[in-house]
Structure formats: C-alpha cells, structure tokens
Amino acid sequence: MEYYMKNKFIILISSLVFALFSSTSAKSESITLGWAAWDPANALVELSKGFTAETGIDVNFEFVPWPNFADRMLNELNNQGKTFDLLIGDSQWIGGGAVYGHYVKLNDFFDQEGISMDDFSDATVYAYSTWPKGTPNYYALPAMGDALAWAYRKDWFDRPELQSEFQAKHGYDLGVPKSWDELYDMCTFFQGREIDGQVRYGAAINTERGSEGITMGVTAAMYAWGMQYENPDKPYEMEGYFNAPHVVEAVEFYKKMYEDCTPPGHSDAYMGANLDAYKSETVAFQMNWYAFWPGVSKEDADGRVTGFFANPCQETCAATLGGQGLSVVSYSDKKDLALEYMKWFAKPDVQAKWWSLGGYSCHKDVLGASDFVDSAVYAQGFLDSMGIVKDFWQEPTFVELMLPMQEHIHDYVVNGKGTAKAALDNIIEEWVEVFEADGKL
C-alpha cells in the first residue's frame, strides 16, 4: 500500500510538472505584429483570435498612431530590431524592405504552401508585394487593400430645395460628381451655406505637411489629370512628365479646392481632421481612405446620411493607392511562427471573415463573390478604385522623395508661395539629386 501510494504521489507530481511545463511552453509560443493604430487594426485583433484558437500561438500587437507610424517602424527595421515578427507596412516600404534585407523573400514559402499570388487582386500584388515592381519576387502578402475616396452628405443632397437650386445654377443634377469640375461645383455650392441653422463648408481635403498627407491628396487630382512620374520608356526621366502642363493644371485645381471649399483652419489636415470635420457636420464632402468607411457607415445604420464614391475622373480615371502588405521581418527569431500566421491569413475563409469584420481583403474569392457588391454600401466603390490605383514612388529612398513633395506642394497650395510649375520643378530638382546619389541617374 505504501509503495502504491508513493508511486501514485510521484505520478501526480510528475503530471503537475509536465502540465506546468506544457503551459509555460504554450505561452512561449507567441508572435508580435506591428501596424498602425486605426479601426482596421481592431478588426485584425478580433480576426486573429481564430489563429490562436487553431494553432495555440498567441498574437501580440503593437499599433502605432499614424503620425508616428513610419518613424517607429522604419527605425526598428533600420536598427535590425527583433520587436516585430510580422509587419503590415505601407506600400512605399516594399522597395526598401527588399533591397535592405528587412523583409523575408516569400517565393519558396508560397510555393511550398500552395499560396498563389494569382488568387489576389493584380493591382495589390503589384503594389504591396513585388520588388522590383511587376516581377515575380514577393516580399509581402496583400493584407489591406485601400485607396483614397470620398464620402458625402447624402441627406443634404437629397433635399428638394437644394436640388432645385443647384440644377438652376449649374444645369445638371446634384449628386455623385463624375469629374473634379463637378466636385468643385458641388463643394462651392455648400461653401458657407447655412443648413439647419449651422454654417457648412464644401470639403475636408488633405493638407497635412508633416508626413504624407498633402501628397496623398494632391496626387488624387494629379493622377486624374493623367500625371506620370517618369518617362515610361526611360526610367527616372521626369522633366516633361511630372511637370507637364496638364499636371500643373491639376495642382492649380487642388489649390483652388483648398481656397474655395475647405472649412476655416483646415491647413494641416489629414485622416483624423477630415473625419472630425465630416462627423461634426461641418462639410459636405470628405476625402479619406476606404479603411474609415466601415466606421462612418456604422454610424449611419439606415444609410440615409452618407454616400460613398471613388475618386472622380478628369482627363482619365485614377485613384491614389493606400493599403499595406503583410511581411515577415527578417530579423525575427520566430520566422517559422510568423509564416504560420501568414499561411493562415491567406486562407479564403479567413479572408472572407476579414472583410466582414471591417478589413479590406485583396483575395479574388472575396472580391469576386456574387454578393460582394451588396455586402457594404462602399463595396462597389472599393472595387472601382482598386482597378484604377496609382502609387507614389516605391523606391528604397521613398522618404527622401516624399520630403520635397510635401514641402513644395504645401508651400504652394496652403501658403501661396510661387507657382504650381515652380513647385513641380523644385521637386524634380531634388528628386534628381536623390536618384543620382542612389546611382539611378
């Protein structure tokens, strides 16, 4: 009996030790994912609970506010930090991520796991995943499709007295603008107008200078006017392309939008400020990313207040690309676990849930589903936009390229310094220096 009890006791202790060890081991199986702090990040936290339930691997998150996002993440990568195992990085980072060795090249992993880039939207694969651009060299999985678009006060537009007044003045219906000219007509129609005892204004557009705001805004016009950064037959030849007469006209038009349509004090505004201006019922239009539309739509349960539309056409149809790809950080000590997450995230059923939670899937099974267009009031606009997106330089030196763009465009549009042509000429001059230093010219 004593022998039996002693052995039973030993077995019990051993079981407890094993259980404790197993529990400790399970807890050590975790990864950390870095991204920006915004609504889609909250959706990703909810989505990732499914990964932990399926694999037992915990996912920790570090979400950084947008004004500090690039500095925080790029400093981490440049210092070869091990904080992040996975990073959802901006489209412009893909060049540096590949060239400087920050991101794991994923071709072998994709082949091994049967993950095909043909299953994802062509535009997002090109923009978020490839380097050199358009080659089958992949450093990210398309994670968050996005583009710059517009929301408008549908409830104001639906008022018969305003419809009649606008029709009498402009000769066409007040509604979703088909061009930037119509957008301007509608913005100025609401500028300074009193509605329900409150003075309203035309549009909240991007004017922020510190990071990327005004560049992302003005390019929405420049792309619509047909701007090209460079000679398609001679890379990095920008003279006569980036500063062509039609591009000058686009920048002048954006300045006119700023002067004639924006609310007072809207001189350094980006995502949050545009949202605030719209939610406070100050403006008839807001320029912003699709990423924010689920939140805006959620506050308008019956769909009466807000409408959404893709960037208007002008000389052509185009939209400023946003969005990000999911990359494995090459300095991580847990690359195997990070790849497990990527494998899980790429599954069509996970991608469908990602869309339903407020993320923007890039998977063709989701985008091509028969009920996709009816799944959200902004779904058709998203499809339209992702078919016409264009992006800023994705060069490894994109920071050095962004800085003069921000400076000279802001000085012209907001501060009224010089001319649009001079601003574009100055940008080209500084870009030439960057490309020369990088050995591209």
Residue 4 located in a structural domain: no
What is the mean predicted confidence (pLDDT) over 90-104? Answer: 97
Q: Over 80: is that where the pLDDT of 377 sits?
A: yes
Average pLDDT over residues 139-151: 98
Domain count, the chain: 2
C-beta separation of 337 from 85 below 8 A: yes
pLDDT of residue 4: 36
CA angle, corner 290, sides to 54 and 221, nearest 5?
145
**Given a cut of 70, is residue 23 above it in pLDDT?**
no
Query: Per-residue pLDDT averaged across 364-376, rounded?
Result: 97
- Please state the rounded mean pLDDT for residues 210-238: 97
Count CB atoms within 10 A of the CB of residue 64: 17
Structural domain contains residue 206: yes
329 falls within a domain: yes
Over 60: is that where the pLDDT of 299 sits?
A: yes
The DSSP output letter for 329 is B
Q: What is the residue-averaged pLDDT of the chain?
A: 94
Tell me what the mean pLDDT of segment 77-97 comes to: 97
Strand ranges across the sheet with 201-204: 201-204, 283-289, 148-153, 306-310
Mean pLDDT value of segment 416-440: 98
Indicate whether 17 belongs to any domain.
Answer: no
Would you say residue 11 has pLDDT above 50? no
CATH code where residue 418 lies: 3.40.190.10
DSSP secondary structure string, 191-224? TT-EETTEE-EEEE-----SSSHHHHHHHHHHHH
- The verdict on 328 and 310 lying in the same domain is no
Alpha helical stretches, state H, 56-86: 66-78
Whether the per-residue pLDDT at 97 is higher than 80: the answer is: yes
- Helix, strand and coil content of the chain, in percent to the nearest 5, comes to 50, 15, 35
Residues 291 and 425 in one domain: yes
CA distance 411 to 277: 23
**Cβ atoms 291, 144 nearer than 8 A:** yes
205 band by pLDDT with thresholds 50, 70 and 90: very high
41-77 pLDDT, tens digit each: 999 999 999 999 999 999 999 999 998 999 999 999 9
Q: pLDDT tens digit string along 275-292?
A: 999 999 999 999 999 999
Q: Are residues 171 and 239 in the same domain?
A: yes
Check residue 28 and give its pLDDT: 58
Which residue shows structure tokens 């509604």?
175
pLDDT category, 301, cuts 50, 70, 90?
A: confident
Mean pLDDT, range 203-223, rounded to an integer:
97
Range of the domain at 158: 148-320+397-437
Across 381-441, the runs of DSSP E, i.e. the strands, are 389-390
Token pair recorded at residue 245: 């007469």
Structure tokens that stand for 227 in this block = 């701007």
Round to the nearest angstrom and report the end-to-end CA distance of the chain: 88
Rounded Cα distance, 220 and 150, in Å: 11
Shared domain check, 236 and 226: yes
Report, as an integer, the average pLDDT of 116-120. 98
Select from 353, 374, 390 the last residue of a domain: 390
- For residues 306 and 383, state if they share a domain: no
Q: Are residues 311 and 413 in the same domain?
A: yes
DSSP state of 230: S
Q: Are residues 203 and 274 in the same domain?
A: yes
Q: Are residues 181 and 268 in the same domain?
A: yes
Whether residue 12 is contained in a domain is answered as no
Q: Are residues 283 and 384 in the same domain?
A: no
- Any domain includes 2: no
Per-residue pLDDT tens digits for 240-258? 999 999 999 999 999 999 9
Long-range contacts of 172-180, Cβ-Cβ distance < 8 Å, separation of 24 or more: 176/152, 176/307, 176/309, 177/309, 177/312, 178/312, 178/313, 179/312, 179/313, 179/314, 180/221, 180/224, 180/253, 180/312, 180/313, 180/314
Distance (Å, rounded) from C-alpha 303 to C-alpha 272?
A: 22
Q: Are 161 and 186 members of one domain?
A: yes
